[in-house]
Protein backbone atom coordinates (compact mmCIF):
# COMPACT_ATOMS: atom_id res chain seq x y z
CA UNK A 1 0.00 0.00 0.00
CA UNK A 2 1.42 3.48 -0.85
CA UNK A 3 2.69 5.40 2.22
CA UNK A 4 0.03 8.17 2.10
CA UNK A 5 -2.91 5.81 1.54
CA UNK A 6 -5.49 6.04 4.35
CA UNK A 7 -6.18 2.80 6.19
CA UNK A 8 -9.96 3.05 5.79
CA UNK A 9 -11.13 1.94 2.36
CA UNK A 10 -14.51 2.41 0.70
CA UNK A 11 -14.62 0.43 -2.57
CA UNK A 12 -17.43 1.41 -4.96
CA UNK A 13 -18.53 -0.85 -7.82
CA UNK A 14 -19.91 0.39 -11.14
CA UNK A 15 -23.41 -0.66 -10.08
CA UNK A 16 -23.14 1.16 -6.76
CA UNK A 17 -21.74 4.28 -8.39
CA UNK A 18 -24.49 4.31 -11.01
CA UNK A 19 -27.12 3.91 -8.28
CA UNK A 20 -25.58 6.74 -6.23
CA UNK A 21 -25.29 9.06 -9.25
CA UNK A 22 -28.96 8.43 -10.09
CA UNK A 23 -29.84 9.16 -6.46
CA UNK A 24 -27.98 12.46 -6.86
CA UNK A 25 -30.12 13.20 -9.92
CA UNK A 26 -33.27 12.49 -7.86
CA UNK A 27 -32.14 15.00 -5.23
CA UNK A 28 -31.30 17.57 -7.88
CA UNK A 29 -34.57 17.23 -9.81
CA UNK A 30 -36.32 19.95 -7.80
CA UNK A 31 -33.23 22.13 -7.30
CA UNK A 32 -33.18 23.50 -10.87
CA UNK A 33 -33.96 24.34 -13.50
CA UNK A 34 -30.42 23.96 -14.81
CA UNK A 35 -29.33 25.27 -18.20
CA UNK A 36 -25.96 23.52 -18.16
CA UNK A 37 -23.74 21.13 -16.23
CA UNK A 38 -20.12 21.84 -15.46
CA UNK A 39 -18.31 18.71 -14.46
CA UNK A 40 -15.04 18.84 -12.57
CA UNK A 41 -12.64 16.54 -14.37
CA UNK A 42 -11.82 13.85 -14.24
CA UNK A 43 -13.94 12.40 -11.46
CA UNK A 44 -17.03 14.42 -12.33
CA UNK A 45 -17.27 13.13 -15.91
CA UNK A 46 -19.10 9.89 -15.11
CA UNK A 47 -21.66 11.27 -12.64
CA UNK A 48 -22.24 14.31 -14.88
CA UNK A 49 -23.18 12.04 -17.78
CA UNK A 50 -25.63 10.12 -15.59
CA UNK A 51 -27.16 13.28 -14.06
CA UNK A 52 -27.40 14.93 -17.50
CA UNK A 53 -29.31 11.93 -18.86
CA UNK A 54 -31.66 11.76 -15.88
CA UNK A 55 -32.42 15.50 -15.84
CA UNK A 56 -32.50 16.00 -19.62
CA UNK A 57 -29.61 18.49 -19.64
CA UNK A 58 -27.84 18.69 -23.01
CA UNK A 59 -25.17 21.31 -22.37
CA UNK A 60 -22.17 19.82 -20.57
CA UNK A 61 -18.95 21.73 -19.96
CA UNK A 62 -15.77 20.85 -18.09
CA UNK A 63 -13.51 22.64 -15.69
CA UNK A 64 -10.19 20.85 -15.43
CA UNK A 65 -8.46 20.93 -12.06
CA UNK A 66 -5.53 18.85 -10.86
CA UNK A 67 -4.86 18.32 -7.18
CA UNK A 68 -4.05 14.62 -6.80
CA UNK A 69 -1.29 12.40 -8.11
CA UNK A 70 -3.06 9.09 -7.50
CA UNK A 71 -3.14 9.19 -3.66
CA UNK A 72 -1.06 12.28 -2.84
CA UNK A 73 -2.78 15.64 -2.71
CA UNK A 74 -0.62 18.42 -4.08
CA UNK A 75 -0.92 22.03 -5.16
CA UNK A 76 -4.22 22.89 -6.83
CA UNK A 77 -3.84 23.72 -10.53
CA UNK A 78 -6.53 25.08 -12.86
CA UNK A 79 -5.78 23.40 -16.20
CA UNK A 80 -8.87 24.65 -18.10
CA UNK A 81 -11.49 27.13 -16.99
CA UNK A 82 -15.20 27.17 -17.79
CA UNK A 83 -16.17 28.46 -21.27
CA UNK A 84 -17.21 32.11 -21.40
CA UNK A 85 -20.77 31.36 -22.58
CA UNK A 86 -21.36 29.14 -19.54
CA UNK A 87 -19.75 31.66 -17.16
CA UNK A 88 -22.10 34.29 -18.62
CA UNK A 89 -25.21 32.41 -17.51
CA UNK A 90 -27.14 33.84 -14.59
CA UNK A 91 -25.80 37.34 -15.02
CA UNK A 92 -22.19 36.17 -15.11
CA UNK A 93 -22.44 34.37 -11.77
CA UNK A 94 -23.43 30.89 -12.97
CA UNK A 95 -27.03 30.87 -11.76
CA UNK A 96 -28.75 27.95 -13.51
CA UNK A 97 -25.48 26.00 -13.77
CA UNK A 98 -25.08 22.66 -12.02
CA UNK A 99 -21.55 21.70 -10.98
CA UNK A 100 -21.00 17.94 -10.61
CA UNK A 101 -18.08 16.05 -9.08
CA UNK A 102 -17.55 12.53 -7.80
CA UNK A 103 -16.19 13.60 -4.41
CA UNK A 104 -15.67 16.72 -2.36
CA UNK A 105 -12.72 15.97 -0.10
CA UNK A 106 -11.03 19.02 1.43
CA UNK A 107 -13.20 21.48 -0.51
CA UNK A 108 -10.21 23.15 -2.22
CA UNK A 109 -11.37 22.29 -5.74
CA UNK A 110 -14.96 23.30 -5.01
CA UNK A 111 -13.79 26.67 -3.60
CA UNK A 112 -11.76 27.29 -6.76
CA UNK A 113 -14.73 26.49 -9.03
CA UNK A 114 -17.11 28.47 -6.80
CA UNK A 115 -14.86 31.45 -7.44
CA UNK A 116 -15.59 31.04 -11.17
CA UNK A 117 -19.33 30.27 -10.78
CA UNK A 118 -20.39 31.72 -7.40
CA UNK A 119 -24.16 31.28 -7.95
CA UNK A 120 -23.98 27.74 -9.37
CA UNK A 121 -25.46 24.75 -7.55
CA UNK A 122 -22.62 22.48 -6.42
CA UNK A 123 -23.15 18.73 -6.14
CA UNK A 124 -21.07 15.64 -5.48
CA UNK A 125 -21.89 11.98 -5.15
CA UNK A 126 -19.70 11.61 -2.04
CA UNK A 127 -18.60 14.15 0.56
CA UNK A 128 -16.05 14.24 3.35
CA UNK A 129 -16.51 16.51 6.38
CA UNK A 130 -13.92 19.14 5.39
CA UNK A 131 -15.46 19.61 1.93
CA UNK A 132 -19.11 19.19 2.84
CA UNK A 133 -19.77 22.93 3.45
CA UNK A 134 -18.74 23.60 -0.17
CA UNK A 135 -21.52 21.49 -1.74
CA UNK A 136 -25.24 22.13 -1.88
CA UNK A 137 -26.25 18.53 -2.61
CA UNK A 138 -24.52 15.18 -2.06
CA UNK A 139 -25.53 11.56 -1.47
CA UNK A 140 -23.14 9.82 0.93
CA UNK A 141 -20.75 11.18 3.55
CA UNK A 142 -17.60 9.26 4.41
CA UNK A 143 -15.03 10.06 7.09
CA UNK A 144 -12.10 12.30 6.23
CA UNK A 145 -9.64 9.43 6.72
CA UNK A 146 -11.37 7.13 4.22
CA UNK A 147 -10.08 6.51 0.70
CA UNK A 148 -12.80 5.89 -1.89
CA UNK A 149 -11.83 3.41 -4.58
CA UNK A 150 -13.86 4.43 -7.63
CA UNK A 151 -14.65 1.76 -10.22
CA UNK A 152 -12.60 3.45 -12.95
CA UNK A 153 -9.51 3.27 -10.71
CA UNK A 154 -9.74 -0.40 -9.78
CA UNK A 155 -9.74 -3.85 -11.28
CA UNK A 156 -10.84 -7.23 -10.04
CA UNK A 157 -8.28 -8.73 -7.67
CA UNK A 158 -8.18 -10.99 -4.64
CA UNK A 159 -8.80 -9.18 -1.37
CA UNK A 160 -7.52 -10.79 1.84
CA UNK A 161 -9.98 -11.04 4.75
CA UNK A 162 -9.97 -7.95 6.96
CA UNK A 163 -8.44 -9.79 9.92
CA UNK A 164 -5.57 -11.13 7.79
CA UNK A 165 -4.93 -7.70 6.26
CA UNK A 166 -4.29 -6.25 9.71
CA UNK A 167 -7.21 -3.83 9.69
Which residues are known to be catalytic?
Answer: 101-102, 105
CA-based nearest residue to 100, from 128, 66, 138: 138
CA-based nearest residue to 120, from 131, 102, 134: 134
2 Cβ contact partners less than 8 Å away, ≥ 6 residues apart? 70, 71, 72
Q: Provide the H-helix boundaries in the chain.
A: 14-28, 45-55, 84-87, 89-92, 108-116, 162-165
Task: Determine whether 68 is exposed, middle or buried from the number of CB atoms within 10 Å of its CB (0-12, 13-18, 19+).
Answer: middle
Query: How many angstroms from the chain centroid is the CA of residue 84?
Result: 22
Amino acid sequence: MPPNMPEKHFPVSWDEFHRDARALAWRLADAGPFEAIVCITRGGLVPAAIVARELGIRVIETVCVASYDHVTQSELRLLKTVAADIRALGGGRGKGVLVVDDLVDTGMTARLVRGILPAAHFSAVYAKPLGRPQVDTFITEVSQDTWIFFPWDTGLAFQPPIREAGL
